Amino acid sequence: MPETASTRSSIPHGVLTVILGAIGLLAAFALTLEKFHLLQVPGSVPSCDFSLLVQCGANLNSPQGAIFGFPNPVIGLMAWPVVITIGVALLGGVRFPRWFWLGYNAGVVLALAFVVWLIGTSIFALATLCPWCMVTWAVVIPLFWMVTLENLRTGRLPLGAAVRRLSDAAYGWIPLITLLSYLVVAVIAQLRLDVISHVF
């Protein structure tokens, strides 16, 4: 299987993976500290609570904030170091086998599905915009596009030559695709929560 596209992109892909992973880890760590503080001082106000709309307390204290029986940020503490390690390995010239990339892609798809659920829960159920949660959303989305388009354009996901060519062309537009994804979330939040009126 030709790997020329993958070889050309390994360095920038690795750099962006490390950056996104580090930002995601920071968000997970910050939310974990906030959760610890809430457990130690019941009734306290988290430092990331800025208003009734922009806050993380409601998210951390909700059942949805511990969907698997433990605080959601713990998932990030476990997952983001793996992402960072993959990025560092790519920077070091490591070429992972196809099965690894497909497994990585499956993990990223699950992460995006979880984030989409969290976005829906935050906007429609809790009516809040959690700052550190939004940071997590903001890094999972481009990571999904990076990994998925990389696998499509290199043929690791064998969906045909046309899809491969389209993915190769779209790969260079990941920043724009990511911005459009953010815009969709922003429009939904505005329609549901009237964010602009709260800001101004």
Q: Which region among 146-150, 159-163, 175-179 has the lowest average model confidence (pLDDT)? A: 159-163
Statement: residue 109 has pLDDT above 50: yes
Q: In which residue are the tokens 């809430």 written?
A: 38
Average pLDDT rounded to a whole number, residues 12-20: 95
Chain-wide mean pLDDT for the chain?
93
For residue 2, pLDDT beyond 70: no
41-97, pLDDT tens digit by residue?
Answer: 988 999 999 999 999 999 999 999 999 999 999 999 999 999 999 999 999 989 999
Q: 4-199 domain in CATH 1.20.1440.130? A: yes
Domains in the chain: boundaries: 4-199
Please report which residue ranges of 41-157 form alpha helices under DSSP H.
57-61, 73-91, 98-120, 131-153
Residue 197 banded pLDDT, cuts 50, 70, 90: confident
- Which pLDDT does position 11 carry in this prediction? 84
Q: Which residues contact 156 (CB under 8 A, 6 or more apart)?
A: 1, 98, 101, 102, 105, 150
Whether the per-residue pLDDT at 7 is higher than 90: the answer is no
Distance, in Å, from the CA atom of 13 to the CA atom of 153, rounded to the nearest integer, reads 14
Distance CA 34, CA 53 (A): 17
